[in-house]
Structure 1
């Protein structure tokens, strides 16, 4: 089967957008809003995998913006330097700034290529998105233009729609998680079995449901044994699987958002954010050598149950 992908420009909630589409999937990207992907649509079952904003117009955040103060829908790139000494600024947000910056872009023979250069730190982040019959693949390259190693963290922050019967799947051996932030369930640092997520996300699991949206964030306590994780959706008979290299992206977190609609974020990461932020363990940090680059790939694949 030949994957024929079309490329077109359009508008999405007031912003310039790029649409990639083939017979089975469609993706919409906003280059000027941090290269954000705002739609990943399964045409076979007429289903939108990415959460959608209720806003009629999207405002681009300023580069010093707090991630949690702006639109959390869709798929944002979280890339940040962990070495504040490379900049005169010491207030670089924990989620980095590439999600707020405009990305240069151009069409390719199989999709779109985007890149962003940090205005104050010596790095460039590039990504090339291409569709295939069952999803998409993103090829990343982070370039360090400094004379010193560049420690960094990368994670794909994709907020997914989740039906009441949704479950997650993870590789064998991923059995325990640690609570990241205090919301409804447990306290920071408390441990849980992964059954808290393999149960139906629509269940309260013994926790009182509030009218306002609540967030539960967990991180697996051990590195990934294989480079994948999945969101299973029985109500549409479909599964979305992320694929990546466990050698380069060895850690996994999970977030559940309960509100008017259920949402889940599967959060593979290049380093253990709890070790970095909580314990200052520099051995847990990924790093790019001076005047060098680092590459990795990330795929989103749809399959039938």
Structure 2
């Protein structure tokens, strides 16, 4: 008998699966990209996921991410930025904004204490599956597997996209050897242009030294996406709230998920205030760029690629 339990219900008119232990709870909506719309610490009643306040939903496959609810935790696969696949036999096939799977309905089934979700590609021959289970009362585990349904090797970019409720003073903790970032996007070029490198966490600006590891106050000029340069030596990252002593930590296999991206938005995009920790199989959001720089994951023809995430709430 595993830890925790799952029940099926409804969230804003959508079929939803609710998983819980004594210390944490989550809600998954298979019909909306199998997104997680709630991840809460039951011991403190803290909801970690951010909501835009929009009605849950999207406008269907390949629709812009901004036309949907923009809330919670989506899966980004097989790319992030809209682009065309560069190599044969799928050269020129479009990868939509935020990938294919976030806007597709997934199949879901529950066996005991495990929830399984799966979906197949539209433009590309793959199957993406994930299984939710609980390692302990305070730790959620998600096991992922991509199956290549073709005879040709397939390169892809997967990243977790949990939009977390950002609060001034929260602190990002990463392995000590991470000290440089590459800019993917920065509103008003605050941190630089695409591909620029800069030190992390301290950077010098006209207004003085900025510590990127500490979330700042709401500021409509700030929206940054960056990746740490190089591959991770160890797969972990944590976001803490010194004001309450609470934290959200992630652990993942650095050989399969070797990169870490950060999305920090305190008003520069949409007037929203949220923060995303994005373990990733590739770098810099653009699959073309990642493939050219040999920083994309590849699954052999008829092969599989497996990884996991473990999320601990304290």
2:184–2:284 Cα contact (<8 Å) kept: no
Using the TM superposition, name which of 35-44 and 180-189 deviates more. Answer: 180-189
**What is residue 192 of structure 1 aligned with on the other side?**
199
**What is residue 40 of structure 1 aligned with on the other side?**
39
Q: CA deviation at 1:203?
A: 4.3
- SS, match of residue 158 in structure 1: strand
**What is residue 207 of structure 2 aligned with on the other side?**
none
Given the superposition, is the C-alpha separation of residues 279 and 287 from structure 1 closer, same or farther in structure 2, using an over 3 Å criterion?
closer
2:58–2:67 Cα contact (<8 Å) kept: no
Q: CA deviation at 1:143?
A: 0.3
Q: CA deviation at 1:7?
A: 1.3
In the alignment, the residues of structure 2 paired with residue 291 and residue 236 of structure 1 have an alpha-carbon distance, to the nearest angstrom, of: 48
In the alignment, the residues of structure 2 paired with residue 121 and residue 73 of structure 1 have an alpha-carbon distance, to the nearest angstrom, of: 26
In the alignment, the residues of structure 2 paired with residue 290 and residue 15 of structure 1 have an alpha-carbon distance, to the nearest angstrom, of: 36
**What is residue 248 of structure 1 aligned with on the other side?**
256
Residues 72-151 of structure 1: matches in 2 within 5 Å? 72-80=70-78, 82=85, 85-87=88-90, 90-131=93-134, 132-151=136-155
In the alignment, the residues of structure 2 paired with residue 142 and residue 163 of structure 1 have an alpha-carbon distance, to the nearest angstrom, of: 35
Q: CA deviation at 1:239?
A: 1.4
Provide structure 1 residue ranges, at least 5 long, that are not aligned to the other structure. Answer: none
Provide structure 2 residue ranges, at least 5 long, that are not aligned to the other structure. Answer: 80-84, 203-209
2:260–2:280 Cα contact (<8 Å) kept: yes
In the alignment, the residues of structure 1 paired with residue 212 and residue 232 of structure 2 have an alpha-carbon distance, to the nearest angstrom, of: 17
In the alignment, the residues of structure 2 paired with residue 232 and residue 32 of structure 1 have an alpha-carbon distance, to the nearest angstrom, of: 31
**What is residue 280 of structure 2 aligned with on the other side?**
269
Does 2:239 match 1:231?
yes
- SS, match of residue 283 in structure 1: coil
1:84–1:90 Cα contact (<8 Å) kept: no
Q: How many residues align?
A: 295
2:8–2:18 Cα contact (<8 Å) kept: yes
Q: Which runs of 4+ in 1 moved over 6 A?
A: none
**What is residue 162 of structure 2 aligned with on the other side?**
158
Q: Deviations over 1:62-114 (max 9, x none)?
A: 11112233222211001116566455873321521111111101112212000
Given the superposition, is the C-alpha separation of residues 198 and 3 from structure 1 closer, same or farther in structure 2, using an over 3 Å criterion?
farther
Given the superposition, is the C-alpha separation of residues 64 and 17 from structure 1 closer, same or farther in structure 2, using an over 3 Å criterion?
same
- SS, match of residue 237 in structure 2: strand
1:80–1:94 Cα contact (<8 Å) kept: no
Aligned to 2:301, which of 270, 290, 296? 290
RMSD: 2.3
TM-score scaled by structure 2?
0.86
In the alignment, the residues of structure 1 paired with residue 130 and residue 283 of structure 2 have an alpha-carbon distance, to the nearest angstrom, of: 23
Q: CA deviation at 1:27?
A: 0.5
